[in-house]
Amino acid sequence: MVKKTVLLFPGQGTGKRGMALDFLAVSAGVKRLFETASETMGRDMEELLQTADEESLKRSDIAQPAITLANLAAAAFLCEKGIEACACAGHSLGEYAALVVSGSITAEDVFRLVKARGEAMQKTAERIKTEAGDPPGMAAVLGLPPEEVLSLIASGPRGLYAANINSPRQLVVSGTAEALSEAEKRFKEAGARRVVRLAVAGPFHSPLMKEAAEEFRPVLEQVTFKDPVIPFYSNVTGTEIKSGEEIKRLALLQITSPVRWVDEEKAINAAGGFEQVLEAGPGTVLQGLWKEISGIPCLGAGTVKELELTLRVNFRFT
């Protein structure tokens, strides 16, 4: 018997050289997915994943299609093993893999979208970096409850925004260089254990990315979004979204809005109807965040070896 499974897809920052190539080596479905991605992207995606290093994977225009492909490769391999999602969600960029798995958009459309989204976000980040003496960015606030962080953001400094509400002990902020420096002092004074600057290209999920959203809009408008066939949970609202048109509207807002990951996890748990949760894609970030919310473990599915072990131990039972 196969357990009912929720799939969670990681976002930008989780990618590494060679990801998903082990799936490609053993799966006909993943091979077709790579072919679709390469044709849509206009470049050899296998070669990209073989050669992309840590520095290049910081670039949104490279990381977004590469990580989306890795996420969907994990999902395709799972499907070949008889494991299909009964619900899905994705963190930030990971939401695009969830859109495909939910049936809202096609694989061809998702690569068109993440190509345009990544290019728009990279361009905006580079413009901001060029115009600013010290570029804006992001920082993770650790050990301070999100409600306290949000209260401090509301009282200033100007140019500081909540970006990712990740767990009861972690909230990521975006902001100008000046705002981040001032906020770091205030967060530590309020009791934060650490404030860690993130190695990212720009101040994502904040109003500072408005230009990227506007550039992405024309490409988004060309894509048809269907109503999902399984529950899909939105970063923008933190809730299940059943309408394809609403999902499309929220996809644009997601670029400048915070990721309400805690709310999404709580909504998935409240809905129930599942027996297991998998992080389908590279890294272990979502496994750690899920553990802080739910007593149900989130298991890894980022490599063939990891996924097969997970399946053997946790999914097939008599």
Comparing C-alpha atoms, which of 128, 135, 129, 115 is closest to residue 210? 128
Instruction: Report the interhelical angle of 60-80 vs 107-131 (nearest 10°).
Output: 150
SS3 252: helix
- 205 catalytic per annotation: yes
Q: Give me the catalytic one of 91, 102, 104, 205.
A: 205
Upstream peptide bond of 157 is cis (omega within 30 degrees of 0): yes
| Rounded Cα gap, residues 233 and 235, in angstroms | 7
| Rounded Cα gap, residues 109 and 36, in angstroms | 10
Dump the DSSP string for 97-155: HHHHHTTSS-HHHHHHHHHHHHHHHHHHHHHHHHHSSS--EEEEEESS-HHHHHHHHHT
Half-sphere exposure of 148 (CA within 13 A, CB side): 16
* Encoded tokens for 34: 């790579």
Report the amino acid identity of residue 316.
R
- 104 catalytic per annotation: no
Beta-carbon contacts of residue 274 (< 8 Å; ≥ 6 apart): 3, 4, 5, 6, 86, 87, 268
Beta-carbon contacts of residue 186 (< 8 Å; ≥ 6 apart): 152
Q: Give me the catalytic one of 27, 92, 167, 206.
A: 92
**Cβ proximity of 96 and 16 under 8 Å:** no
| Rounded Cα gap, residues 67 and 204, in angstroms | 17
The catalytic site residues sit at 92, 205
